[in-house]
Amino acid sequence: MSSTCDILSDLPNNVIENILIHLPLRDAVKTSVLSKKWRHNWVTLPHLAFDDTFLNKPPRELMLTIYQVLLLHQGPILKFTLSVPGLGMIFRVSPFASRADGCLRLPEIFFACLQLRHLHLRYCLFDPLPTFEGFDYLISIEFQNVAFTRNISFISKCPLLERLTLKGCTNNGNLDIDAPKLKLLYIHGSWNTICFRKTPLLASVTVRGELKYTETPGKIGVFRSLPVIESLAVEYHFWQILAAGNVPDRLPANLKYLRTLELPALRFEFLSEIPCALCLIRSSPNLQKLRLADFYTESTADDVKTVDEFLESQDFSDISLNKLREVDMRINDGLKPEMEFVKLLLVKSPVLETMHIRQCDGDFTMDIGS
């Protein structure tokens, strides 16, 4: 036994640290009994995970364990995970958090963690004090089912933010995006407005869910704030706003970096939307992947005829899709405007490799390949 202890005691510090990092936190703490050298090694662990390995602890005992670990810990905590089934029971007795309207409210001390670099929150209330000055070192945010009590302005107080993901968030007001380092934006939820103020590096944008307005004024002019956009996917509400008002034949400046365009809510039989789609296609000379879907709504024969006449009057000589390789279309009834769009893409895409067309009800599919 003594020889085993000697071997463990003589291990280099980097080896000990590597062993501890790969152990569940409960087991890492237990290594303190191995030898004097191991007694305090766990207290500098950069990652702390209270997960389902703590499931068998009674709520009060688990609360005390978390408290003791945090008191004894030394050095930076680069990643803190608290994911235990039945967590709500714990927070009813927790001095570190409270509930508001059935939603877990983050404690004020959370907003003092100014060294945070990655922040993932689920099922809680994000309600910083008005004096909160942001997270200066934050690189990524992922909020899922997080409730907000006021407009989301703290993003502008995270100057290094590169990735922002908001899924299923509620009580949403206005979303101000002032993030000079932001590269990826994914939004799925309900918002009054989304305003792109300073996003010179934003390359990937996905907007799903409900939206009442974009920036005002702006609409199609929102792309002035997205000079290096590479991937764009917008669903029904955002698309309706872009298509509203006077849409030019093409944007003032081409979206020369745009490689992937997804419009899963385009209604081919409505004249209010076709010009916006053509504007984006005209303005994307380097497009490689295009996904379109006819969002089903009831239309009349007059609606379809109006779009037919509009398409027949267009001069498409200024459309060049010399890099388009893949098209995926979902159509409803094979109406003439839908087929005219198919013909246009075939004619203007000399290097097209794959075109996949399918009917919404699944009764018809067609693949055109090189």
| Both structure tokens of 194 | 């989304």
Domain limits of the chain? 217-370
Q: Return the bridge partners of 47, or none.
A: 79
Inter-helix orientation angle 301-313/274-282, to 10°: 30
Which of the residues in the chain have pLDDT under 50?
1, 89-100, 214-218
pLDDT score recorded for residue 251 = 86
Check: CB of residue 194 under 8 Å from CB of residue 167: no
pLDDT score recorded for residue 1 = 46
pLDDT score recorded for residue 96 = 44
Phi–psi pair at 322, nearest 5 degrees: -70, -10
Please tell me the distance from the alpha carbon of residue 328 to that of residue 276, in angstroms, as a whole number: 18
DSSP strand pairing (79-82 vs 47-50): parallel
**Can you give the pTM of this predicted structure?**
0.72
Check: CB of residue 201 under 8 Å from CB of residue 182: yes
pLDDT score recorded for residue 218 = 46
Check: CB of residue 175 under 8 Å from CB of residue 197: no
- Contacts for 355 with CB less than 8 Å, ≥ 6 apart: 326, 327, 328, 329, 342, 345, 346, 366, 367, 368, 369
Please tell me the distance from the alpha carbon of residue 370 to that of residue 162, in angstroms, as a whole number: 38
CA distances, 216 to each of 176, 195, 197, 199, 212 (Å): 12, 8, 11, 16, 11
**What's the residue count for the chain?**
370
